[in-house]
Structures are given as C-alpha cells and as structure tokens.
Copies of this chain bind each other. A is one copy, B any other.
Amino acid sequence: MAVAAELLERVAEGGLIEPPAPLVAMLSGGRDSVCMLDLAVRARGAEAVIALHVDYGLRPESHDDAGFCASLCEGAGVELRTERPVRPDTSGNLQAWARDVRYAAAARLAEARDATIVTGHTADDQVETILYRLASSPSRRALLGMKERDGRLARPLLGTTRAEVTAYDEERGLAWREDPTNEEEGYARNRVRHGLVPELAAIHPAAVQNVLRTAALLRDEAEVLDALVAAELDGSGEAPRGRILHARFAELPPSLRRLVLQRLADAAAGRPVAGAARFADQVAGLTRGGSRLDLGDGVQAVLESGVLRAERDA
C-alpha cells in the first residue's frame, strides 16, 4: 500500500482539508475524483464529506455515471447530492455551461454547509491548463496555472500526477468510470492532453515537471509584483487610496504600469477586465483634465486634476 499511504499523508498534511470545515467533494466518477473522495473520507471520516455529482444528461451513459456515484457513496457511507440541471436550448458552449453549473452547485452547497470544496485536479491537469492558456491568451497570468486554494475551493491533488492517482485507485481496489467528463472537455483540451503534452515530453524527459516548476516560480514572482502594485495604490502618496497620480503612473516601468492599470480596472468592475492592461501606454499619454479612455467591459480610465482612476460607465 505504498502509494495509498504516501498520498494520504501528503494530502492530510498539505494543509488544504483540515477540520473543522466539512468537505464538498466534486465527483464525476472518473479516476481523479474517485481518488479524491476516498482520500477525503480516509483523512476526515465519512461524516465530514458530502459528494456532489452533476448529471448533465449530455450523453446516454450519463445516468450510469450517476448510478455509479450513488453506489460508490453508499458503500463509503458518504452523503451524495446529485444535481440534474436543465440543458439549455441554445447551441452555445456546452462545456462552459457544464462547468458553470458544476461550480455554482458546489459553491451553493459549500456556502450552506460552511464547507471546503475539493476537486480531483492533478499535476497533469495543471500542465494541460498552463499549456492551453499559453496557447490561447497572451499573459503571464496564463502561466500561473490553477491555485491550490481559491476561496472555498481546494485542489489537494495538484502536485500529484495522474499516474500516481491511477496507482492509488488500483492499490485501494477502487473502480472508476472512464473519462466521464471527456465530452465536456472538448476538442482543444483533448488535443492538449493527447497531442501537445506528449510532444513536450518528447523534447525532454522532465518537461512536465519543468513546466510545473516554472509556473511555481512565476506564482512567487506574481506575489512580488502584486505587492508592488498594491504599494502604488495604497494612498501613501499624493493620490487617494485606489488611485494614482498620473505623473507617477506615466513614469512607472511599462510592466508595472500595465499591472497597475489592470488592478484599477478590475477593482472598478468587481471582476477581471480582460485586456485592460494593453491600454497602459495610451493611458500614460492622456493629457490632463477630464480625459477618459475606454478599457473595455464597461470600464473607463478617468484622468481628473492629475489623478488617475477607473470607473464603470454611467
């Protein structure tokens, strides 16, 4: 039971699932979520765990997945919540819809029980996420990957490979459903997993670990940079808190200027404003006195009396 013992120790001591908060385990029935559920029960006891399965009804076999999850939870003595959302009529992005439904259901349940949500995301998922974002959008943030802890959400297996998870399930005699979420993942994600990652691994035997390590280094650096941004907006200068003197903004290094503008835009919108940072040079070039510049997503940069701020469109 080498892997089973080692992984339990790693997860139990990882600081992500400690008491007293109960755990909402997102359960697709695939090997990763089956492993996570088993670890949650072993670490915290069945009474502290609630499993959440979402049956999207997108495939004929999806009800079998739901039945599999029901047997699994019954055997483990774990409470199971199964959601069956109504599929939208639109021919829009079903993967995005399924993801939104899943996380919204988990957030509601976790809120009601004051619980921590745990997912089965592995190191392989992390690498795939990083590479997918690297290809899809120009940004350092893309390279940071998923967080181990993000509000109520925890990803205790993010440092564990899919191979280790498989070995765990086999050692523990756990059954799983093959790729029940595959359909949701879509073409691009599968292409990353089955095309891009193997090509990367062919370049260098440690390629996957190297990508993960680079992401970790960038997360550290992001902390340093975030602290710099916060210091520019902390109100200790001549501008009020959350604003910045335009003259100061204009003389910042380009990268810091971009980060400061992004922070202003995000704070004004109450959510990330995609691409606001790319207007940093234009904002630096605004002339004084009531100038405005659209940053996208309903947010504007406003320069007034030498002070720069961002605000929502009226």
Interface residues of chain A, those whose CB is within 8 Å of chain B, are: 131-132, 134-140, 142-143, 188, 191-192, 195-196, 199-204, 207, 209-214, 217-218, 220-221, 223-225, 227-228, 253-256, 258
Contact = CB atoms under 8 A, between A and B. Distances in A.
Contacts of A207: 134-136
Contacts of A135: 200-201, 203-204, 207, 210-211
A186 to B, nearest CB: 11
Given A138-B211, A196-B199, A220-B255, 13 more contacts: A132-B203, A135-B201, A136-B210, A138-B210, A138-B214, A140-B217, A140-B221, A142-B214, A196-B196, A220-B258, A221-B221, A221-B255, A224-B255
A202 B258 CA distance: 30
Which 5 A-B pairs give the minimum distances between C-beta atoms?
A138-B213, A220-B255, A135-B207, A135-B203, A221-B255
A138 B212 CA distance: 8
Given A224-B225, A224-B256, A253-B223, A136 B217 contact: no
A256 B202 CA distance: 33
Contacts of A204: 135-136, 188
A200 B196 contact: yes
A204 B131 CA distance: 11
B255 A217 contact: yes
A283 to B, nearest CB: 16
6 contacts: A131-B200, A136-B207, A142-B214, A221-B221, A221-B255, A224-B225
Contact of A139 (B143, B195, B217): B217
A218 B140 contact: yes
A138 to B, nearest CB: 3
Contact of A214 (B140, B211, B228, B255): B140
A217 to B, nearest CB: 6
A155 to B, nearest CB: 20
A209 B137 CA distance: 9
A138 B220 CA distance: 13
A213 B137 CA distance: 9
A191 B199 contact: yes
A191 B202 contact: yes
Contact of A134 (B192, B214, B228): B214
B142 A220 contact: no
B217 A138 contact: yes
Nearest to A136: B204
Nearest to A208: B135
Given A143-B143, A256-B224, A191 B203 contact: yes
A226 B139 CA distance: 19
Most buried by B among A139, A210, A212: A210
